[in-house]
Chains A and B, each alone.
Chain A
Amino acid sequence: MTTTTIVKAPSTSAPPAPAAAAAPAGGVATGAKIRVHALRYNPQEPGSVPHMQTYELEQTEGMTLFIALSEIRETLDPTLQFDFVCRAGICGSCAMMVNGRPTLACRTLTRDVGPDITLAPLPVFELIGDLSVNTGRWMRGTSERLEAWLHGDPQARDICRIEEPMEPELAEKLNELDRCVECGCCVAACGTARMRPDFVGAVGMAKIARFRLDPRDKRTDDDYYELVGTDDGVFGCMSLLACHDVCPKDLPLQTQIAFLRRKMAGKGWA
């Protein structure tokens, strides 16, 4: 694997960083050099070989990986591919491997992970190019496989009828699980998913747990068993809990998977 380095020419207009503007303990000081090592590979381009490319730039106050990557694309290398939409941890587009762990680039401060930052695309998902992956296709496949939508009572589809009220506590629990942005970090962090590509992943199990909690969903545990009651489903989970530990939205994945496992295992002799 070859490695190339691109260094930004010193800017004459930028004021020198004040020496006192030090970053928090253990972090990279403002004005210091940071090196972004990005995996480059374009599967669309014949002859493209995966390699690391290094970009050197200056740490600025409050710099996120989003800002760093944008600066690289604007000033150093317009060909670098990566995804961003919201820049605020809401859309889930910018998940990538940062120093070996999946996380959202827009919520990662370079001073916390630098001065040497290694970036790679999320594994498991289809690679578009460089740091950009197609999580959407995988997520759609999972949603279809798990029928991750509300299976309500067809009779209740009368839009003139007032909806059944829901306890605020329950609504809160559902909202909590609905915070998933489908960034794919939990799947990329999962050793089981890496070994077994058919494994459902935490995102899928959390979705099932969410609909099971919803009284408007009329499915029973027997129905859910049909969806996740396999060794590719909840029984394949080896409780490595990296999903729980890397989730950028801090979803209670450990609790949800354990809950689903208890319910589904209970069907063994039921």
Chain B
Amino acid sequence: MASTSPTIAGAGLAERPRRSRVPARLDLLQSATGLVLALFMWGHMFFVSTILVSKDFMWTVTKMFEGYFIFGRPYPGIVSVIVFGILVLFVAHAFLAVRKLPISFRQWQMYRGHMKVMKHEDTTLWWVQAVTGFMLFFLVTVHLYQMLMHPGLIGPYESADRVWTGRWWPLYLVMLFAVELHGGIGLYRLAVKWGWFERGDADATRATLKKAKWVLTVFFLVLGLATLAAYMKIGYEHADRAGERYVPASVQPGAVQ
């Protein structure tokens, strides 16, 4: 329609009403933010689990993110910038995904009743995802605020002291299960939602994806529990010297380079 068409009270009344393209963008963005966050969580788990290899290795990874090996000295602010980016993605994802949650008792009751009689795995998994997603609103916010404000307090002793002496381990324990279940189910759902990896037999692909999803979830849960246990042990042993920074032997004054 010509742009010269007369506009009467209310913009666009003279135009043929067209559906907003916003729902399409929101749908894509919900998937995209979820994908980035889920993949980030895989990377995150590998980074924190370096403590299982050695304190020095974990220290090295930490300092790498602080730019120590590029600038010659650590800049924890870099970590804050990354955390802020994740925070933005997290808030965006929560904002987009909350549209799907049941928001009234009626919807809650409908879904719960439906789920119980259907006994359908993917329907039940959605419920798990909704519940864990709701938990993550609160758990992740606390965690990210801490990381944003104290980016320098990440390290073999620093993290362990926070976990044990700072009494953060209950939060991390609950968050571990919430994240791994939510992210694992979410990645599986993304694949079936958009038809990724679908080659010919969609049912066979889905069965493989489901299996992969469970293997990954169990793998990351085991890795996460082992990692948390490692930090708790170090924190427990280091409790009377809590607050002391970790300095690898190789960079201590007088060390032979």
Which residues of A line the B interface, CB within 8 A?
97, 100-101, 123, 189, 191, 194-196, 225-226, 229-231, 235, 237-242, 245, 252, 254-255, 258-259, 261-262, 264-270
Contact = CB atoms under 8 A, between A and B. Distances in A.
B120 A242 contact: yes
Interface in B103-148: 107, 110-111, 114-120, 122-123, 126
B73 interface: no
B27 A238 contact: no
A231 B24 contact: no
Interface string B184-201: 000001001111001000
B114 A194 contact: yes
Given A97-B117, A195-B110, A258 B122 contact: no
B114 A191 contact: yes
A240 to B, nearest CB: 5
Contacts of B126: 191, 238, 240
A268 to B, nearest CB: 3
Interface of B: 18-19, 21, 23-28, 99-100, 102, 107, 110-111, 114-120, 122-123, 126, 189, 192-195, 198, 202, 206
- Where chain B touches its partner, the secondary structure class is helix
Nearest to A195: B107
Contacts of B116: 100
A254 B192 contact: yes
A261 B25 contact: no
Nearest to A189: B118
B24 A229 contact: yes
Nearest to B101: A195
B123 A242 contact: yes
B117 A268 contact: no
Given A191-B111, A194-B111, A235-B23, A259 B122 contact: no
A265 B24 contact: yes
B24 A239 contact: no
Given A267-B21, A268-B28, A255 B117 contact: no
B189 A239 contact: yes
A188 to B, nearest CB: 9
Contact of B118 (A100, A231, A261, A269): A100
B25 A255 contact: no
A269 B123 contact: no
24 contacts: A97-B117, A100-B117, A101-B118, A101-B119, A191-B114, A195-B102, A195-B107, A195-B110, A226-B19, A231-B99, A237-B193, A238-B100, A240-B120, A240-B123, A240-B126, A252-B202, A254-B206, A258-B192, A262-B194, A265-B27, A267-B21, A267-B24, A268-B24, A268-B28
